[in-house]
Structure formats: C-alpha cells, structure tokens
Amino acid sequence: MISRTRLHGLVFVATATAIVMWLSFNFSANLAARGMTIDFGFLSAPTSFPIGESLIAYSSGDTYLRALTAGLLNTIHLALSSIVLATVFGIAVGLAARIGHPLLTSAAKTYVEFTRNVPLLLILVVCATAVRGLPAPRQAWILFDGVILSSRGLYLPMPVFSGGWALGIAAVILASTTSVVWKWSLRGRSRLGSFPFASRISLTFCVAGFASLVVWICLTTSMDWPRLTAFNFRGGWSVTPEYLAMMFGLGFYTSGFIAEIVRGSLAAIPKGQSEAAASLGLSTLLSLWLVQAPQAIRLTLPPLANQYLNLIKNTTLAVLIGFPDLVSVGNTALNQTGRAIETVSIYLLIYLSLSLITSMIIRRLERRAQVVKL
Amino acid sequence: MNAFRRTSANLLGCIAAIAAAGALLAPVDASAGKVMDGIRQKGNLVCGVGQAVPGFSAPAANGDLAGIDIDFCKSMAAAVLGDATKVTYRQTSYSDRFVLLASGEIDVLVHDTTTTLNREGAQKARFTSPNYFDGYTFMVAKSLGVDSPDKLADATVCILQGSTFEVNTENFFKSRGLKYTPLVLGTWEQLDAAFFGGRCDAFGGNYGNLAGSRAAHGNASDYIIFPEFITLEPYAPAVYGGDDELFLTARWVMFALVEAERLGITQANVKEMATSSTNPEIQQLLGKTPGNGKDLGLPEDWVVKVVSAVGNYGESFERNLGKSSPLMLDRGLNALWTKGGLMYAAPLR
C-alpha cells in the first residue's frame, strides 16, 4: 500500500517531468522555426573588441572565453571588495545602534533608513556622477606625492618586483618549510617542555631566510609612479571611477541591511545575558564583544548570506555605469556574435554557481558557529 | 497530519509556480514567412527604433518620435497598410535590437544600423539599401587642442556597446600602435552624460550621431568632430530572414523614396503628379501605369501613400538631419548619385 505522501510525490515528479519536457520541446521547436541553432563554438573564436580594465592580460584577438573570464574576474573582484566594505560598515553601524548612546542610536537609525529606502540604481548613478565630477587629469588633485585623484580614477604608486617568478617560488618554499618546522617545534615543546636543539637550529634558519627574502624584495623592488601623459595618467596602480562608484554604491546600500541584521540579532539575545554581564562588572562594550556578539553570530549568518547573494547579483548593474563586469563583456560578445541564448545561459550558470558557492561557505561558517551540545 | 498538510501545500505551490513559468514559455506562432501576414492581420507594423538618437529616432518638441528612421517606419506602414500612423514604435537598445528582430518582437528594424556580413550571415538580418551613409570618427573638446585622431594616444574613449564602434575603435588604435582606454556604455544618453561630463577625452561614433549629440548639447562650437572617416558605415533598415515579401517591400520602399527625389516628386506635389504627370517614369512609379504594385503584392498607389506621408528621401533628410534640423548636416555621401553622392535607386519597373 503506497502512502499518500509518496503518492503526492510521484504525481509531483510526473507533472514536473511532463512540464519540463513540454517546455523543452517548445523551445527547440521555436528555435527550429526561426532557423536558430545553439552553438558554443564562438567561445574559442578570437574577439575584436577591447575591455576597459582586466585582472588578467587581455587584448583583442584573444578568445571569447578569455574575454568572458576577464569579465567574471572583474565581477568577483567587485563583489568581494563590496562585501568587505558592506560588512565592515554594516557591523559598525549595527553595533553603534546597540551601544545605547542616544546620538549614536539615532545616527545609526538614519543611516539604515536612508540606505534601505533609496533605490540601488539611484545610489549607483549618484556615485558614478560624483566620481566623474572630479577634476580632469590636467587639473587633478594630488593628495600626496604620487596619490592622484581625478575624473580618470584614483592613481597610486605601485611597487614592481623585478625578482619575478624566482621570488614567488622562494617565498612559497620558505613559507611551507617554516610552517612544517613550526609545527614540529611545537610538538617537541609540548613533549619536552622546551625547544629541542634541532628545532632551534631550524628556527634560526627560517628567521635568516625571511630576513634575506625581505632584503631581496627591497633590493629588487622599484616604485612605478603614475605620470601624466597627453590625456591620462600612465603607470602606477589605478582604480577606475566606475569601479569606485560600484564598490561604494553597492557597499553603502548593502551595509544598511547588514546593520539591521546585526542590530536585530543582538536585540534577540535574551536580556538576562547582558544583565548577567553587567552584574559581573563588564562595560557595555565588553558585554557586547564578549557576551552578546558571539551568541548573535549564529542568528546573523543566515540573513547575512542572503545579503551577500543579493550583492553578488546586484553587481550586474555595473553595465549601466560602464564597469566591464561579466554581463557588460558578455553583452558585447553577444552583439559581436549574435549568440544570445548561449551568452545568457552562461550568465545563468555563472551566477547560479557564485550564489551556491557563497551559500556553501556561509553554511560552513554557520556549522562552526553552532552551539556545541554536551 | 501536519507533515501531510505541509507536503501538499508545498506540492500545490510548486505546481502553481511551474504552471506560471509554463505560461511564459508557451509556444508562439513563429513559422517563417508569415511576418507580412501578421502585419496585415493586426493592421499594425512594429518598428524597432533607437532610444533618443537625435536625427534618427528621438522625441520631437511635441513628444512624438521623429527622425529619418522614424520616417522609414511610416513609409513602410503607408506602403503596406495605406496609413503611416499604423506603427507601434519599439525603442530598443543597441544590444537588444537583433535579439528582438530574431525573436519576432519587431517586424522591421530601423535603428541607425550598419550593414555587416556577420549580421546578415550569422544573425539572419536582411538589410535593404542604406537610408544613411555614415562614417566612424571621434569628437573631442576643442580645449584639448587635438586636431587629428592620430593624436589620441592614451585617451579615454567613450564607446557605444552593441554597435560596430567597439571594433572600429580597437582596429583604429591597434593599427596605429596607440594605447587607449575604452569606456563602454549601452545608450547614447549614458554616453552623452559621460562625455560632456568630462569622463572621456574622445567620443567615438558615427558622424551623424555625434553631430546629433553635439547639437542637442547646446554649445556646439566647443567641440570638434574629425572630418576624417575611419570606416564607412552604411545604415540600413532590416527585416528578419525568411519573409521575402516583407524584405522586398522594405527594399523597394527605400528605392522609391530615393527615386521620388530624383524625379522631383515631393510631399506637396505627389497627388497632382499622380494624376497629371506625362513623364512615363513618374506614371509607372506612382501607379498610373499599373504593374509595380502587383509585382510586390501592394496597392498600385503605394508610392503615392509613402511620399504623401513623409516626402521624398531628400525632404526627409533635410527635415531630420539637414539644414532645417538642429544637426545641420550636409548631404555629402547621402546626395543623389546625380549630384555626386551614393544614393541611388534601382529601376522601379
């Protein structure tokens, strides 16, 4: 005798399968009727368009796959820096709301209401207009020697290692030997109560190695200073106005939500906890830090994951202010090749993967933050 | 019992969601060759046009869209439906236009669109003869003191996404071994804001579009557009491959507009010419001598309807792009072949 729940399950699976089959049949029939095919072959074809900024070397003539990868890395780069910014500001504002000082509380409240109630697009457009309104390169603001702010972005001097690959390899080898030696020496210490002779020698060796590495870096490093050419600055390390606008806009907007999550989670901790902390003589700050925050983290993580997912998806608005994220580069690729369905399915797959990875990471953190049952 | 209720609630929710998705993906009638029938059946032509591209498709003072592309949409409706007002304008972005054409959302695409091999070969667009010959170049502020595109090394260039411009710019700078920074945006409005706001040193685009932006901005004398054309950009209306009847109509409407100009048929005199002209070419063009209409499957007076609605090609040009428009463009390449330009019509017989 089949149970009712199982019967419902079977009906559901059958219906879902039928609907999916019907949709895919329609999809392919409609494609055939319009004479369209699906072909991802364009990914290995050479491009003929530029990308404004890229973390990997890219120039026209590289493959579409590389162009899309450059866009994806820009998306991840932007998402990560915005997440850091939003989290730092969010936690700060959330804590400020709980400290109990009336001025701080109302300031935090205003901040939250403002960021949460202004549409993100508006914030981004305002940010973009603000950074573009900076003076032209020839009238740029020189904040410090080599730190230049203009409508072309923020330029900083950049250290250049001429040591190259050898330097990186040496650093990796040194770091791994150090960690092995360190563990070994700790093990020795717990057994003998003091550093054994062998570990002392290897420690000396490690310290000497690090010292020579530092000297080597200093000797082989030169600074690349930004300098003014006919129109723009060249050289140095630069951040474009579009990147700045996106990072601040997304960070600012999301921090309001995060602040509210932090405040709410702290408020959800039973009052007895803070009263107990106070009766032990802990100050408000210490009580927040040592007693309330560790408990609140468990409540914070799930809604925080939602905010991170939203932020990652909101990076696609970059296309409106000209930051070459995945969608912006993909739209150009789509236009050059006419491969709309393929490009859009690549977007879907990538944003789905980014979201799944983010929630996986947060779920791990949640597991670590769980109360240990005795 | 609770678990059972929850399961069935979940089940119902899922089914509802899937049904909703199904409704969105329901089959559409998209059989090839039926676009023209569809236009006739609904008595309306869906024309894909630009969003705020002055001179081509932009709102006029009275709020209606105006431009040389809009005039072509009206001509098509006049020829097919006998009424130039039976057009639904669908303002599309440069990135979306070919997708909308391929999916049948728009019947005709008239969107300052350059004819390219890839667009015809891979994207199945079918272009008529050009309604505007343009060339790619750059606009810069006069204050920069740059007098040639060759002196744009290290410049930041504002470029439109979804056009031929990204490739034009790349080819130009690459062939000269110059470095530059692109800022790619999706609409003319965003580009205008970025360029006139000082974010870019140069604004890459076709002469006609750049002149439109400069005119709309006001102090036109502060900016120069380099007269050297880097590429030729023949703008042409397009339909989606597979409907010969619609394609032929679009192709010959374009020719008819040009031929009317050569024969001196204007919006003002077309009705009179149709009845009283003794020129055999005019008699055949305007349907007094029947045949053209029948060959295309249109009423014999289709050219009368077209020219009554928008005038001949020259009138449409002057009104939207020429001396009586804010853009003040010369006819240049767009003059008739009899006057040293590239505009010609194949014989309408």
Nearest CA in chain B to A50: B170
Nearest to B324 by CA among B333, B306, B311, B341: B311
Predicted confidence at residue B109, as pLDDT, reads 97
Phi-psi group of B218: left, alpha or beta (phi > 0 → left; psi -120 to 50 → alpha; rest → beta): left
| CB B141, CB B199: distance < 8 Å | no
Residue A239 predicted with pLDDT over 60: yes
CA distance A227 to chain B (A): 12
Q: Does A129 touch chain B (CB under 8 A)?
A: yes
What's the angle, vertex CA A59, arms to CA A54 and CA A61, rounded to 5? 140
* Domains of chain B with CATH codes: 35-131+236-333 (3.40.190.10), 134-233 (3.40.190.10)
Is 0.95 exceeded by the ipTM? no
Contact B186 A319 (CB under 8 A): yes
Task: List the 40-99 stretch of A: residues with Cβ below 8 A of B.
Answer: 48-52, 60
Nearest to A250 by CA among A76, A82, A111: A82
Contact B166 A332 (CB under 8 A): yes
A111-115, A207-211, B281-285 — which is least confidently predicted?
A207-211
A97-111, A173-187, B140-154, B263-277 — which is least confidently predicted?
A173-187
Contact B167 A338 (CB under 8 A): no
- What percentage of chain B has pLDDT greater than the value 70? 91
Average pLDDT, chain B: 88
The CA distance from A292 to A269, in Å, is: 7
Contact A16 B18 (CB under 8 A): yes
Residue A29 predicted with pLDDT over 90: no
User: Which tens digits make up the pLDDT trace of B32-88?
Assistant: 358 999 999 999 999 999 988 889 999 988 989 999 999 999 999 999 999 999 999
Whole-Å CA distances, B27 to A25, A205, B30, B242, B317: 9, 73, 9, 19, 42
Residue A194 predicted with pLDDT over 80: no
Residue B10 predicted with pLDDT over 70: no
What's the angle, vertex CA A312, arms to CA A310 and CA A333, rounded to 5? 130
Mean pLDDT along residues A146-150: 83
Mean pLDDT along residues A69-77: 95
The residue extents of the domains of chain A are: 64-122+239-367, 161-224
Predicted confidence at residue A373, as pLDDT, reads 59
| CB A284, CB A105: distance < 8 Å | no
Predicted confidence at residue A188, as pLDDT, reads 53
The CA distance from B295 to B317, in Å, is: 28
- What percentage of chain A has pLDDT greater than the value 70? 90
| CB B243, CB B121: distance < 8 Å | no
Cα atoms in the Cβ-side hemisphere of radius 13 Å centred on B228: 6
Mean pLDDT along residues A257-271: 93
Predicted confidence at residue A224, as pLDDT, reads 77
CA distance A140 to chain B (A): 12
CA distance A338 to chain B (A): 6
Predicted confidence at residue B28, as pLDDT, reads 44
User: Which tens digits make up the pLDDT trace of B311-320?
Assistant: 999 999 999 9
At the fourth CATH level, the homologous superfamily of domain A64-122+239-367 is: MetI-like (1.10.3720.10)
Per CB-CB distance under 8 Å, the chain B contacts of A23 are 21-22, 25
